Amino acid sequence: MTIIRVKFRRGDEVKFISHLDLMKVFERAIRRARLPIAYSQGFNPHPGMVFGLPLGVGVTSEAEYGDFEITDDGMSPQEFADRLNLQLPKGIEVLSAKKKMSKQNIMATIAASEYVVIVGTPAECSQKALKTAIDKYLSQEEIVVKKKTKNGVKDTDIRGMIFDLNFELQPCENFNIIRFTALVSAGSKANLKPDLLIESLCGYLGFEYEIDRIHRTKLFVRSQDQLLDPMEEVV
């Protein structure tokens, strides 16, 4: 058995499909490509595949990851990727592939994610004032937001989940476009959704705003207290 890890992108064409539906897309593409995927035993056999962190509906990404278990140890990751790409619908594309070395489940090791969020706001703002305000926002001990969970809404402190937050201001005539880059905690233990962060920040700044788009640029796994690109991971 070999596990192939792929990095793929998810474009505008497919950004409205759910995570569950995305897995079906891969399953059927793999079947069309006749790739030697391993199936689980039992009444309802499942293909051996595990994906990284589910992406919100409407979010695009250039850093999605999936691990695929195949039965042909001789197949090169490149061949796997090439054959899969021919069968994937527009908007989904495997960017790179490698043999996975570690035993760890990708889902369990994800620790952080970087997003670009484009926000439009009618609020007046200058580069300097915005920088000061965001610094002040980040210097708070505690940033409490209302987080939706399975059991209703819960107050959550997200300060510790924000690792890095940068912005670029692009003033338009009577409108400002702010391009935020946020590195936030991700994964099963602590996950901060970018829209929630923006809501909290704009609330703090007193901005009316509209999110134009959210795009995931990076995803990291934790390995011995280090954040690593899932394709680099060697452990």
Partner 1 sequence: MSVKLSDALLKSVEKPSRYTGNEWNSVIKDPKSVDIRFAFCFPDSYEVGMSHLGMKILYHLLNERNDCYCERVFAPWTDMEEKMRQNNIPLYGLESKDPIKDFDFVGFTLQYEMSFTNIINMLDLAGIPLTSDKRSDGDSFVCAGGPCAYNPEPLADIIDFFMMGEGEEIINEVMDAYAKWKGTGRTRQEFLEDIVKIEGIYVPAFYDVSYNEDGTIKSFVPKKPDYPVKIKKRIIKDMDKVYFPEKVIVPYTDIVHDRIMLEVFRGCTRGCRFCQAGFIYRPVREKSHKRLLELANKLEESSGYEEISLTSLSTSDYTELHELTTGLLEEMEEKKVNLSLPSLRIDSFSLDLMEKAQKVRKSGLTFAPEAGTQRLRDVINKGVTEEDLLNAVSLAFNGGWNGVKLYFMLGLPTETMEDVEGIADLAYKVVNAYKNVPREKKGKGLNVTVSTSSFVPKAFTPFQWEPQDSREVLNEKQMFLKSKIRSKQVTYNYHENRLSLLEAVFARGDRKTCKVLLKAWEMGCKFDSWGEHFKFDVWMKAFEDCGVDPYFYATRKRDYEELLPWDHIDIGVSKKYLISESKKALEGKVTPNCRVNCGGCGATIFDSGICGGN
SS3 210: strand
**Residue 18 contacts partner 1 per CB under 8 A:** yes
122 binds partner 1 (CB under 8 A): no
Query: Beta strand pairing status for 226-228 and 210-223?
Result: antiparallel
Pick the stretch among 25-33, 78-86, 125-133, 225-233 that binds partner 1 (CB under 8 A).
25-33
- How far the first Cα of the chain sits from its last, in Å, is 18
Give, in order, the Cα–Cα distances in Å from 173 to each of 60, 122, 129.
Answer: 28, 10, 18
> Does 14 interact with partner 1 (rule: CB under 8 A)?
yes
| DSSP three-state, residue 51 | strand
- Selected from 72, 82, 124, 212, the binder of partner 1 by CB under 8 A is 212
Q: Is 33 helix (H, G, I), strand (E, B) or coil?
A: coil
Among 82, 168, 210, 232, binds partner 1 (CB under 8 A): 210
Q: Which of 3, 4, 6, 29 touches partner 1 by CB under 8 A?
A: 29
Q: What is the CA radius of gyration of the chain?
A: 20
- Using rule CB under 8 A, residue 39 touches partner 1: yes
CB of 106 to partner 1, least distance (A): 23
Q: CA-to-CA distance for 94 and 84, rounded, in angstroms?
A: 8
The least CB distance from residue 89 to partner 1, in Å, is: 5
Cα–Cα distance, 114 to 226 (Å, whole number): 15
Residue 171 interacting with partner 1 (CB under 8 A): no
- Only segment of 142-150, 154-162, 210-218, 223-231 that touches partner 1 (CB under 8 A): 210-218
Contact (Cβ atoms closer than 8 angstroms) between residue 91 and residue 13: yes
80 close to 70: Cβ distance less than 8 angstroms:
yes
Q: Does 103 bind partner 1 (CB under 8 A)?
A: no
- Residue ranges binding partner 1 (CB under 8 A): 13-14, 16-18, 21, 24-25, 27-32, 39, 43, 45, 57-58, 87, 89-91, 210, 212-213
